[in-house]
Structure 1
């Protein structure tokens, strides 16, 4: 396996992350243009999360067989897909826990991540709005 220096790794992640963020922005705009800005359901984010998770599954499967996988992992998984959606990383980590037989831990991670994420968001909103909404 070819090892990457910290600077090389950072460059790969930054390049991929910027690309993923641009993809997310443009996919979101495209979906909004197709379904309309007044859609009740957040289709853009939903489609980005699902497609990012599918891409992460395909990539993880490919990386298990690829030589020089670390650079590709940094560029594509951490960078592009991390910039596109962190939900893909969440999905992969949950799936790995399930595959290892840690079903309870996977459930705790999945439910805990969603609930703690929502709690954090609401705490931030309350703090910035100056009290209970």
Structure 2
């Protein structure tokens, strides 16, 4: 009986991450449509946007659901948001591709500046998410 319960819990986690990742990927795609088609911005802005917003969201949620957080959620809900939605929404690999293509075709400095700007902005957004959650939790 214990083994069946363990397998059921594992299945719930897998489904939570998979469903969340599908939602996150769809949100990333829709962000691209809005930013590129709707606003006329360059596709590089999409990658930067999803990574910065995703960094804020994952840190806010992780802090709000941590041991000292206000939101009590189970492992499946936590993985649904962090590993699933945020993991499907953000995209380090696309950022790496964008930076590489800028380095190859726009100059090394341009690619490195883009990469550094997205990393620093994402870390700043994560810090802001943490700060907001700590303030809400207080």
Instruction: State yes or no: 1:74 paired with 2:74.
Output: no
Q: Distance in 2 between matches of 1:86 and 1:47?
A: 10
4+ residue segments displaced more than 4 Å? none
Structure with the largest fraction of helix: 2
Instruction: State yes or no: 1:46 paired with 2:51.
Output: no
The DSSP-based 3-state class of the residue aligned with 1:42 is helix
TM (normalized to structure 1)? 0.57
TM (normalized to structure 2)? 0.55
Instruction: State yes or no: 1:29 paired with 2:29.
Output: no
Quote the offset at 1:86 in angstroms. Answer: 4.6
Quote the offset at 1:26 in angstroms. Answer: 0.3
Q: Which runs of 5+ in 2 are unaligned?
A: 1-5, 102-138
Q: Distance in 2 between matches of 1:68 and 1:31?
A: 33
Q: Which runs of 5+ in 1 are unaligned?
A: 88-113, 123-133
Residue deviations 1:62-114 (CA, integer Å, cap 9, x gap)? 11123334122110000000100155xxxxxxxxxxxxxxxxxxxxxxxxxx9
Quick one: structure 1 residues 31 and 8, their matched pair in 2 at CA, closer, same or farther if it must change by over 3 Å? same
Q: Distance in 2 between matches of 1:86 and 1:69?
A: 25
Report the number of matched residues.
Answer: 88
* CA RMSD across the alignment: 2.6
